[in-house]
Amino acid sequence: MPTLNINGKDMAVDADESTPILWALHDTLGMTGTKFSCGQALCGACTVHLDGAPVRSCITPISAAVGQKITTIEAVGQDKVGQAVQAAWVKHDVAQCGYCQSGQIMSATALLKGKKKPSDADIDAAMAGNLCRCGTYVRIRAAIHDAAKTLA
């Protein structure tokens, strides 16, 4: 039985190591903040951090995460970058239906941890794999710029 470090806690996961991280989170651990959508790493709704890097948990097997730190939307607000992103999301009314937002926030947080003053091009590149069917891309970009200013 593999053990994963999820949000700072070691958790035994009763699943085959080829199981995608998403299903371990949902089915085994009952953590539903990370969303399933396309199942092919095309939409970004399932984004989590693996040692700080955004990955699509719907296709990333448990075996790839053993010995690394997984951060999910449930814990992203435990540091100042995650808090700034979440506050900017609320300030700019980013969410409409909200389904994609956990993945959007995870990608935005990873961006700001790596780049303190992202340009529009940086934001577009970092967020390119995250789809929003409601089309809130302008507000997402504004929220990321706002969070960056808050962190400066």
Neighbour count for residue 128 (Cβ, 10 Å): 10
The parts of the chain modelled with pLDDT lower than 50 are none
Structure tokens that stand for 38 in this block: 């396309």
pLDDT for residue 148: 98
Which domains can be identified in the chain, with CATH numbers? 3-71 (3.10.20.30), 76-151 (1.10.150.120)
pTM of the model: 0.95
Instruction: Give the rounded percent of residues in the chain with a pLDDT score beyond 70.
Output: 100
